[in-house]
């Protein structure tokens, strides 16, 4: 049976989903916590100003800040890495883990912050640097120990070149980051997350095929919610067909020279997908995704 959660909840024993109330809104950015044998790991950090919301949720669940050993980042975007530095000041025993490509950007976050401002405008609060001695790279296939269990890091490029997803084998649970899309709990649909300029369509497809090989019971989406049951693979396949719709728009636009016209056609496909953003950000988000798909699928044609 399919189960969906889209608010702060302990959705399974010692698996916690927290709505960070990003941009002052419900159901925009969520994070995952996994606790095992007196230790815990936090997956992603939310926006730079999400710290107090996350800390109060941890307290409400009785998760000790001293028990947190790793802050496992999926990728460098501000809505995932933004609060890493401030959270670490409250987690005295934790390291932050990110793909080695992006370690330097956590230590000197001006590039992440600039990218965040471009998309989110004033909703992106300043991001502080993480002390270099607290940053460790995370490698494909690496096991990160939590109590007697482990979380497996899986390199998952496509949305960005530094994207990592995290699989908890004992729970058959995957923290998806933005690797396979954004999940809409009300429509039970997955939307593309093909943000300009980092999206690479071929890499996204290889990542999705790799993830489909996993034995999955639950998918955790930072945008937004947890879905569990036998439907996990169907939801992932829904991600592929969502991109198929974008391919159709490109095919219909064959022969069209005006790139702005094609971009506008693609943008219309993102109307529902941008509902997770504040209203003033939606148009820009749709444009970033349209341009991301256009550039990211071209990358594929020129390299094949
Ligand atoms: Zn992202």
* CA–CA dist 95, 88 (Å, integer): 8
Residue with tokens 């009785």: 62
Query: In this structure, are residues 156 and 211 in contact, taking their beta carbons and an 8 Å threshold?
Result: yes
What are the tens digits of pLDDT across the range 132-145?
999 999 999 999 99
CA of 148 to the centre of ligand 1 (A): 31
Q: What is the pLDDT of residue 300?
A: 55
Query: In this structure, are residues 76 and 162 in contact, taking their beta carbons and an 8 Å threshold?
Result: yes
CA of 277 to the centre of ligand 1 (A): 13
- Rounded to 5 degrees, φ, ψ at 86 are -70, -35
**Tokens at 77, concatenated:** 């975007």
* CA–CA dist 143, 95 (Å, integer): 15
From the number of C-beta atoms within 10 Å of its C-beta (0-12, 13-18, 19+), residue 231 rates as: middle
Q: What is the pLDDT of residue 237?
A: 93
CA of 38 to the centre of ligand 1 (A): 31
Q: What is the pLDDT of residue 304?
A: 43
CA of 264 to the centre of ligand 1 (A): 22
Q: What is the pLDDT of residue 125?
A: 96
pTM of the predicted model over 0.75: yes
Could you give the count of Cα atoms lying within 13 Å of 172 in the half-sphere of its Cβ? 14
From the number of C-beta atoms within 10 Å of its C-beta (0-12, 13-18, 19+), residue 304 rates as: exposed
What are the tens digits of pLDDT across the range 194-245?
999 999 999 999 999 999 999 999 999 999 999 998 888 999 999 999 999 9
**Tokens at 46, concatenated:** 């939310």
Which positions of the chain have pLDDT values less than 70?
299-304
CA of 181 to the centre of ligand 1 (A): 9
CA of 4 to the centre of ligand 1 (A): 22
Q: What is the pLDDT of residue 301?
A: 56
Residue-number span of the structural domain to which 186 is assigned? 3-303
Number of domains in the chain: 1
Q: What is the CATH number of the domain that holds 22?
A: 3.60.15.10
CA of 27 to the centre of ligand 1 (A): 16
* CA–CA dist 294, 149 (Å, integer): 41
**Three-state SS for 9?**
strand
CA of 255 to the centre of ligand 1 (A): 31
* CA–CA dist 304, 299 (Å, integer): 9
């Amino acid at each position: 049976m399919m189960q969906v959660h889209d608010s702060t909840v302990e959705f399974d024993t010692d698996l916690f989903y927290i709505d960070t109330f990003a941009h002052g809104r419900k159901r925009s950015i969520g994070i995952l916590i996994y606790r095992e044998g007196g230790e815990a790991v936090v997956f992603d950090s939310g926006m730079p100003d999400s710290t107090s919301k996350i800390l109060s949720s941890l307290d409400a669940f009785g998760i000790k800040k001293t028990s947190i050993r790793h802050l496992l980042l999926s990728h460098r975007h501000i809505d995932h890495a933004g609060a890493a530095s401030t959270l670490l000041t409250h987690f005295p025993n934790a390291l932050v883990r990110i793909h080695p490509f992006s370690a330097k950007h956590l230590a000197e976050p001006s590039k992440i912050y600039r990218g965040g401002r471009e998309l989110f405008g004033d909703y992106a609060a300043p991001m502080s640097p993480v002390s270099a001695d607290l940053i460790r790279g995370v490698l494909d296939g690496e096991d990160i120990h939590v109590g007697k269990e482990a979380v497996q890091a899986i390199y998952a490029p496509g949305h960005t070149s530094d994207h990592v997803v995290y699989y908890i084998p004992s729970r058959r649970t995957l923290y998806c980051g933005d690797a396979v899309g954004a999940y809409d709990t009300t429509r039970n649909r997955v939307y593309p997350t093909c943000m300009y300029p980092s999206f690479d369509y071929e890499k996204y497809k290889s990542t999705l095929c790799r993830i489909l090989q996993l034995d999955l019971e639950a998918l955790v989406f930072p945008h937004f919610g947890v879905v569990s049951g036998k439907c996990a693979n169907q939801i992932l396949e829904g991600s592929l067909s969502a991109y198929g719709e974008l391919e159709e728009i490109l095919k219909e636009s064959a022969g069209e020279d005006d790139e702005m016209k094609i971009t506008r056609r693609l943008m219309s496909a993102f109307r529902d997908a941008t509902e997770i953003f504040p209203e003033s950000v939606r148009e820009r988000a749709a444009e970033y995704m349209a341009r991301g798909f256009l550039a990211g699928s071209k990358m594929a044609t020129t390299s094949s």
